Amino acid sequence: MTELVHLSVDEGVATITLDSPHNKNTLSQQLTSELLAHLAAADADEAVRVVVIRSALDVFCSGADLSEATTVGMGVGAQRMVDVQRAIVANSKPVVARVAGPVRAGGIGIVAAADISVAGESSTFALTEVRLGLAAATISLTVIPRLTDRAASLTFLTGDGFDGAEAARLGLVTRAVPDDDLDAALAAVLKSLLKGVPQGLRETKKLLNRKLLADIDARGTDLAELSAGLFGSPAAQEAMLAFLNRKKG
């Protein structure tokens, strides 16, 4: 089986790379399983001081795997999405998302869960669940706390897309920069983080994420069950199949 997520460690930085070109980094069971394993490995590695999540493709993440959702269901997938966000939020190392290209639905949960997210200005975001008869249930755990109430209503209810600059204005990402400057901006953030003493970084992250982690633990299972139920509903199944058929056409 071809690995869909890669882990490399260099000079204190663990880079986790999403690399599933056949489905544009959809959050399949295989991809989320590998992502969770690499997050755990980076957390346990004393040589790692900072974690970066990025894509090898021109798409960061296209959201849930609708092919799985319309065949095997989302009982496992929905809980995995909660687990991925928790693994990022609870990780003892700062997690930085390098965001380039489209980010859709569940992929936005990864961006929101990261402690710092740096995006290219041309990156695009959309919470498209509402257009498929779904709700952004599991990722609401991390996305809603990043947004104002008005921004959450606008993005969750319309499903309209917005670019990296708007994502920064709304609070979804930390910073948006011209695409050509993305790697330099990431390097600057990493340089600053690597100046921190591991204990200081760990304990500061705990302070920052205390309420968010408690909310994930309190509501994660219920929201995963809600999400799985919506994915399995006739309305959502019909909408997802229609979407998949349009893509094939």
User: Tens digits of per-residue pLDDT, 92-120?
Assistant: 999 999 999 999 999 999 999 999 999 99
Nearest partner of 34 among 62, 64, 61, 2, judged by Cα: 2
The answer, yes or no, to whether residue 52 has pLDDT greater than 80, is yes
Give domain status of residue 49, yes or no.
Answer: yes
Give domain status of residue 236, yes or no.
Answer: no
Mean pLDDT for the stretch of residues 121-132: 97
Give domain status of residue 140, yes or no.
Answer: yes
C-alpha separations of 177 from 101, 156, 206 in Å? 13, 24, 28
pLDDT tens digits, 17-46: 999 999 999 999 999 999 999 999 999 999
Token digits of residue 15: 């880079």
Mean pLDDT is lowest, of 6-10, 49-53, 70-74, 205-209, for 70-74
Which CATH number is 35's domain given? 3.90.226.10
Token digits of residue 221: 């299972």
Give domain status of residue 168, yes or no.
Answer: yes
Domain containing residue 73: 5-179
* CA 245/CA 24 separation, integer angstroms: 17
Quick one: pLDDT at residue 213?
Answer: 98
Mean pLDDT for the stretch of residues 173-191: 98
Where is pLDDT greater, at 67 or 200? 200
Quick one: pLDDT at residue 72?
Answer: 86
Q: Are 96 and 118 in contact (CB under 8 A)?
A: yes
Quick one: pLDDT at residue 7?
Answer: 98
Confidence class for position 249, pLDDT limits 50, 70, 90: low
Give domain status of residue 185, yes or no.
Answer: no
Give domain status of residue 184, yes or no.
Answer: no
* CA 162/CA 126 separation, integer angstroms: 7
C-alpha separations of 240 from 88, 104, 114, 148, 247 in Å? 28, 15, 28, 29, 11
Maximum alpha-carbon separation in the chain: 53
Mean pLDDT for the stretch of residues 159-188: 98
Nearest partner of 26 among 121, 110, 123, 152, judged by Cα: 110
* Number of domains comprising the chain: 1
- Judged by DSSP in three states, 118 sits in strand
The mean pLDDT value of the chain amounts to 96
Token digits of residue 167: 């994502």
Quick one: pLDDT at residue 73?
Answer: 85
Quick one: pLDDT at residue 144?
Answer: 98
The answer, yes or no, to whether residue 131 has pLDDT greater than 90, is yes
- The torsion angles phi and psi of 63, rounded to 5 degrees, stand at 95, -160
* CA 9/CA 5 separation, integer angstroms: 14
Confidence class for position 231, pLDDT limits 50, 70, 90: very high
Nearest partner of 125 among 94, 96, 87, 154, judged by Cα: 154
Token digits of residue 145: 């706390």
pTM higher than 0.85 for the full model?
A: yes
Give domain status of residue 115, yes or no.
Answer: yes
